[in-house]
Structure 1
């Protein structure tokens, strides 16, 4: 295939912009004169990507905001559908944002435009019947995690497990002493990192809980030091106010530097999310906790098919790290789970070794593998509709 091609890409949030920019760089190695357009963020724009709309117009979260913005989102999708049908790209790539991109992929695939979706929605965990809609929408699914690829293989959806970009970015060897020096922390002694979440609602639910858990841990070992890396300046202000009740305790608030904070720690207490994968890649024993509004939790408990919520357990397909959820997430329970690692150091070491093996499995040069898979699709015969 000629390298004078047009590739369509749509991303809806900052994490997609990171993946999109790395993918563009790898695709350019294979197709030096390729042109890229659609919707992208600042990293993609810096590489010459043409975005028809600002990426942040797609970045909606929650239940209410998407409904408020629905007319605008539908207008944007209609424009993209008509534009790409009129000016067919060699391939269209939707990165994450499945509620927006998968229907667009389906419309384009109907017109014999090759389609790729990069980053699987959690279809293996809930609303599993979405896999049939995805099968109709994509010529290729690119997954970050191996168990996701297995799910698609079982449903006869063309899939490639490319690995996780965080496994490529986070160094395999973790220098705890160096991380402590960077943060100005003592190089000796036990340190526990508390990560109560990146959203205001998460910190509201988990912040005080984690601080109370720290107090219970200190009753067992007064020599502990706790650090809380705030995910943003807004979360720093929010946590600073919450810490007013804990000024007499060794709990130190840090602005950002979550990776360094986890690297500096002996154990991490965290709110479930991508941060659990980051802690795994940093080889840190962890306790995963989460609380939702009671009705939301009840609905999700009914919908979700997976027995686990955290990525370490999902990757292992067994309970590798404690998951303490909802009413069970008490300061007493969390502190007991954290202190268990200090009381059983052999378990903590074995867990870190398991995490090292998982890091190797996920470290696959994800962007290059994704670009290779897309290049193979481009070089395959064009489909024809029946």
Structure 2
């Protein structure tokens, strides 16, 4: 069968690559075309557009790039029409994917969504669009099934794909040992968020001369983008495409909000969650977003497991204070580690998410 998969971010590329491998195990003749990244391409899909060309963050940034976004939407529709897939699989990335899903449904394509848009956080009315445009929804967070149930829309919980990814990595790299002097800096994957948060993270490093701060560079951003940001800090180092090894070593981490907060928790690394956007984008978001927390760790457990420093709270002095607490042995650090164990147990209830998702998609296509 022919599958067209659309992912618009680094995390979608990761989960899309594992889904592609699982699909190919079940459908040996699978012909897959995708929007994603290097991982999806390596898994056997033909890459149409890289997510690095698609990552626009915040209301202001999106508005400034509307012409490019609409060109991409038109090109995607044309490419799908030429390819004539048996199914289109959408991975998160709702602003783009829901537009394509609505169009695709009208054109008679089968539509499957893997990793639900975070409609429970804001734009809840998008569920109406999902019900009309998506034939099958596969969710990865335990509370999402109950959320959709109140909208009379049946969805399938397949577990969280990060659990299997990280457990596999840890098993294959068991020789890596913790370094009590390593602190990981994970400033995100988009240029806008990196420019807002990384300078604050870097400034904090001055207060901890005995520690080794390591920046995880985003796969989609070139070295010359980071060079001027890192130049004033010659004692820092960086890694590229090796974030998981860094988290295996790290004693603590400063992490931008998003999937990385959950990855860090599943590696058992105490963290401070950082968010800072443009003032206008933040003010708009604060009026629209309904959830209590910005990190997946806190959202899943419905309590403040990790500290979140948001917008004006994200200052070098606040970050320095929180990092000091993480580095010290004591009840605070122990409590976070225990909460991480509980979080992992909750997410493991769904089993192997990629395999479950692929099996569900395959059966759906057969039916």
Q: TM-score by structure 1 length? A: 0.79
- Unpaired segments ≥5 residues, structure 1: 181-186, 381-386
| Of 209, 234, 239, the match for 1:255 | 239
User: What SS is found at the alignment partner of 1:63?
Assistant: helix
Asked whether the equivalents of residues 203 and 239 of structure 1 are also in contact (C-alpha less than 8 Å), the reply is no
Query: In the alignment, which residue of structure 1 is the partner of 2:115?
Result: 119
- Unpaired segments ≥5 residues, structure 2: none
Query: In the alignment, which residue of structure 1 is the partner of 2:318?
Result: 333
| Of 346, 356, 363, the match for 1:369 | 356
User: What SS is found at the alignment partner of 2:231?
Assistant: helix
Q: What RMSD over aligned residues (CA atoms) do the two structures have, in Å?
A: 3.2
User: What SS is found at the alignment partner of 1:7?
Assistant: strand
Asked whether the equivalents of residues 9 and 94 of structure 1 are also in contact (C-alpha less than 8 Å), the reply is yes
The number of residues matched between the two structures is 355
Query: In the alignment, which residue of structure 1 is the partner of 2:67?
Result: 68
| Of 120, 127, 133, the match for 2:129 | 133
Kindly indicate whether residue 23 of structure 2 is the aligned counterpart of residue 24 of structure 1. Answer: no
Shift of 1:316: 0.8
Query: In the alignment, which residue of structure 2 is the partner of 1:239?
Result: 229
Query: In the alignment, which residue of structure 2 is the partner of 1:265?
Result: 250
- Structure 1 or 2, whichever has the larger Rg, is 1
Q: Write the mapping of 1:1-386 to structure 2, written as runs, cut at 5 A.
A: 5-37=1-33, 39=35, 43-45=39-41, 49=45, 53-55=48-50, 59-61=54-56, 62-64=61-63, 66-80=65-79, 82-83=81-82, 87=84, 89=86, 91-110=87-106, 113-171=109-167, 178-179=176-177, 187=179, 189-216=180-207, 218=208, 223-231=210-218, 233-243=223-233, 251-256=235-240, 257-343=242-328, 345-363=330-348, 364-380=351-367
User: What SS is found at the alignment partner of 1:238?
Assistant: helix
List per-residue Cα deviations over 1:107-156 (Å, max 9, x = no partner).
Answer: 34345543211222221111111111111111211223223333223222
Asked whether the equivalents of residues 254 and 272 of structure 2 are also in contact (C-alpha less than 8 Å), the reply is yes
Shift of 1:65: 5.4
Q: Which runs of 4+ in 1 moved over 6 A?
A: 174-177
User: What SS is found at the alignment partner of 1:170?
Assistant: helix
Asked whether the equivalents of residues 193 and 261 of structure 1 are also in contact (C-alpha less than 8 Å), the reply is yes
List per-residue Cα deviations over 1:228-262 (Å, max 9, x = no partner).
Answer: 3344524541332242xxx6xxx522233332223
List per-residue Cα deviations over 1:195-223 (Å, max 9, x = no partner).
Answer: 3334443343333322333344x4xxx64
Asked whether the equivalents of residues 271 and 290 of structure 1 are also in contact (C-alpha less than 8 Å), the reply is yes
Question: Structure 1 CA distance, aligned partners of 2:280 and 2:176?
Answer: 44
List per-residue Cα deviations over 1:154-175 (Å, max 9, x = no partner).
Answer: 2222322223333212137598
Q: Against the structure 1 CA distance between its residues 235 and 359, is the aligned structure 2 distance closer, same or farther, given a 3 Å change threshold? A: farther
Q: Against the structure 1 CA distance between its residues 111 and 78, is the aligned structure 2 distance closer, same or farther, given a 3 Å change threshold? A: closer
List per-residue Cα deviations over 1:29-53 (Å, max 9, x = no partner).
Answer: 33333433465655555566456x4
Q: TM-score by structure 2 length? A: 0.83
